[in-house]
Structures are given as C-alpha cells and as structure tokens.
A and B are shown apart, each in its own frame.
Chain A
Amino acid sequence: MRTRLVGLLVLLLTAAALSVPQQPSLAAHKWQQLMLSRNGHHWKPDLRMPLFKRAVVLVPGQERRRTFYVRNQSESAARLGVTVRVTGSKGLIERPRFWMAVRIRHGRWQRISHTGRNKVAHVRVVKGRMVPVTVRVRLMPRALNRTMDDHFRFVTRVRLTSLKKR
C-alpha cells in the first residue's frame, strides 16, 4: 500500500512537470534565424522603418498595400507565426466598411477585425524558404461619414519556431 502511494505521487509529479508549457531555453534567445526584407533581395534582422509611411490618411475608395518578406535561414524547417496587434482604435477597425487583412504567401486574406492581438497564420516554412507577407487596408467607397477622423496603430509580429526540440 505504501509503495503504491509513493509510486502514485512520483507519477503525478512527473506528469505535472511534463505538462507545464515548455519555455525556450536560455540558449534559444540567440537563435536568430529569421531575416526580413522589403524587396526579397536585401535581408536584415528587421525592417528598421515602418511598413507604411508614418501616418496614412484614407478616404473612401482608397487602398494601401505593402508586402515584406520573411526568410527561414535556419538549418531545418520551422513554423512561422504571424500576429497583428491593433491599438488605439475608436472603432474604425470594427466597421464593416473598413477592411484590413494580412495574407501569407498567396493564401487567403485573414481579416484583422478587432483591437488587440489578431492571430493571422501559422505555416510551416522549409529551410531557406522566403515567404511574402502582405498587409492590405481599404476604406470602402461607400463608407459613411461616421468613419471620419478615426484612427489606429498596428504592429506585425513574426515568429519563427524550430520544429525540432532542442
């Protein structure tokens, strides 16, 4: 009876330890295998300048689109995650006649429809592969006056995660 109880406790503790979400080890902080480019030719660890110009003013019928490129330069396949964080919106991002979306490669557009964190994609990228990420914003031609003078900010976060455990 006593042996069983002890065995059960050991089993429970081990299972609990294994079920804790695995955090990257300290060594992983130096794993810089993600490179970015505006044109697919010149690569840097980040884009340095904002994706669009500092402040874009839109009127109905206007559209803005920018593409940047992400490359997996690690030694193996990895998973690419893209999220968009929207802040400061007074409601523009939620309006039906305002449309913001992100597309990975040539897949379908993932709409960014609310303030906060918007998960866009999680795709597998083979070693050395370049992936285009396109951000598109459009104010529909029939947008009403209530869309006037509203604004928001956004940042796009790309994360490359190795598929192999270290």
Chain B
Amino acid sequence: MSRKLAGAFRHLASARARAALSLGVVLAVGSTGTFAYWTDDVTVSGTAFTAGTLDLQVNDLNTVSAYTTLNLATMVPGNSMAGTLVIKNNGNVPLKYTGATAASNTDGKNLAGNLTARVTLGSAGGTSPAMTCGGTLVAGGATTTIGTLTTPKRQLAPNATETICVEVTLPAGAPSTVQAGKTDVTFTFTGTSDLS
C-alpha cells in the first residue's frame, strides 16, 4: 500500500503532472470570472416598532391601600364626606378609564345600600361631617348607592392627570336599621387602550 502511495507522489512531482495541475488552477480562476451574475442591492431602513405602555395610576400609585379621607366613624343621616383622587396616565399611549365601586355588608345592616355617592371633576369643600364635591358631575347622584357607582369612560393623554372628587352621603331618610352599621368601600379604576 505504501509503495503505491509513494508511486503516486512520484507521478505528481513529474513535469507533466505539474503542468496539468496548473491548467486546473487556470480553469478555476477563469470560471469564477466568467459565470458571475450581476446583482444590485438596496436596503430600505424600516423603523422601530414599540408596543406601547399603558399604566393607570391613582394618587401616583398602582394600589392605594390607605385612603382614609372618606372615613367617618359616627355618621348620622344627613352627613356627607368627600375626597379627591388624582387619576394619571403614566403610560406612553392614550387611554380611557372607568371607575367602579364595591361595598361590603359583613354585618348585614346594609349601610352600603343606603349610602349614596356622586363623582365630580372638581375639589372637595366644607368640613367633616358636611363635606361636598364641587365641579361638574361625572357619575352618580342622589339615588345612586355607593356599591353600584360606575363612571363613564374618560380619556387621558399620556402623562395627563385628572382630579375627581367622590362624595358619599347618608341621606336624611336613612332607616334606623343602619345604626352602627359598617361598610368598606373599594374603588377600582380600569384603563384601556381601546379608545372607542
């Protein structure tokens, strides 16, 4: 076997073999230059696509866990409390938000069913226990109970804020069965990118 290999290398070293190999190289170079395709390229720059950020905040927070402005421990018929909340679009796309309330009735006295609520675009005035909301009425009224309050969709531009005022009243005609009653009210604000 090794004798055969040695013979092959001897043949490669010969002048004829070298000439033939050179011919191969010439053919290779020639073919590369001869059979090229012409091309033309253009790059079209696109852009940066970004999925927007939607972030609704209330009083600069995502969860407000200690909002005690509306608290009143000794409420009697005819009393009302009012407090403001700052709604902010902290994202980079326009949004629409709605607000809704839910109220507990753990003691079964149905205080929540007798508290009326209204929301305005404005500020709170007066002193406890006779506070009221000024400005334009957005939702609620004299017969809307605190547990069923919803605000219509309101649009906010990126970084824009809006101050709303929530007024809660125990009407003068409230039944005596709500005495010593207690309710915890939760406000939920929901933002959406759907502007329809």
- Main SS of chain B's interface residues? mixed
The answer to whether B48 touches A153, judged by C-beta atoms less than 8 angstroms apart, is yes
From residue 107 to 166 of chain A, which have CB atoms closer than 8 A to chain B?
135, 137, 139, 141, 143, 145, 147-166
Q: Cβ of A17 and Cβ of B31 under 8 Å apart?
A: yes
Report if A40 contacts B (CB, 8 A).
Answer: no
Using A56-B49, A143-B51 as known contacts, say yes or no to A10 and B44 having CB atoms under 8 A apart: no
Q: Does A96 contact B (CB under 8 A)?
A: no
* Distance, CA A141 to CA B194, complexed state (A): 9
Please classify how large the interface on chain A is, using the bins under 10, 10 to 19, 20 to 34, 35 or more.
35 or more
B27–A54 touching, CB < 8 Å: no
Given A36-B44, A153-B47, decide whether A161 and B39 contact each other with a Cβ distance below 8 A: yes
Stretch at the interface among B11-19, B79-87, B120-128: B11-19
For window 44-73 of B, CB contacts with A under 8 Å fall at: 44-54
Are A2 and B11 neighbours in the complex by a CB distance under 8 Å?
yes
Q: How far is the CB of B159 from chain A (nearest CB, A)?
A: 14
Q: Take A6-B16, A51-B45, A165-B37 as given contacts and tell me if A92 and B21 are in contact as well, using a CB distance cutoff of 8 Å.
A: no
CA distance A60 to B12 in the complex (A): 71
The one of B8, B48, B53 in contact with A148, judged by C-beta atoms closer than 8 angstroms, is: B53
* B29 neighbours in A (Cβ, 8 Å): 17
Whether A58 and B50, one on each chain, are in contact in the complex, defined by CB atoms closer than 8 angstroms, is yes
Give every chain A residue within 8 A of B44 (Cβ-Cβ). 36, 46-47, 51, 68, 155-158
Residues 167-196 of chain B, each 1 if its beta carbon lies under 8 Å from chain A, else 0: 000000000000000000000000001100
CB of B12 to closest CB in A, whole Å: 7
In the complex with contacts A9-B12, A22-B32, A148-B51, A156-B194 CB distance below 8 A: no
Set A22, A23, A151, A164: member contacting B48, Cβ < 8 A: A151
Q: Are B38 and A155 in contact (CB under 8 A)?
A: no
- Residues of chain A contacted by B23 (CB below 8 angstroms): 10
User: Once the chains are docked, how many angstroms separate the CA of A50 from the CA of B45?
Assistant: 5
Residues of B within 8 A of A (CB): 8, 11-12, 14, 16-17, 20-21, 23-25, 27-29, 31-54, 92-93, 193-194
Q: 5 tightest CB-CB pairs across the interface, nearest first?
A: A17-B28, A13-B24, A59-B193, A151-B50, A52-B47
CB-defined A-B contacts under 8 Å, sample of 20: A2-B11, A5-B11, A10-B20, A10-B24, A18-B31, A20-B28, A23-B36, A31-B40, A51-B46, A52-B47, A57-B50, A57-B93, A61-B193, A92-B49, A139-B51, A153-B47, A155-B45, A157-B43, A158-B44, A160-B39
User: Which of A's residues lie within 8 Å of B, judged by CB?
Assistant: 2, 5-7, 9-10, 13-14, 16-18, 20, 22-25, 28, 31-34, 36, 45-47, 50-61, 64, 68, 70, 74, 84, 88, 92, 98, 100, 135, 137, 139, 141, 143, 145, 147-166
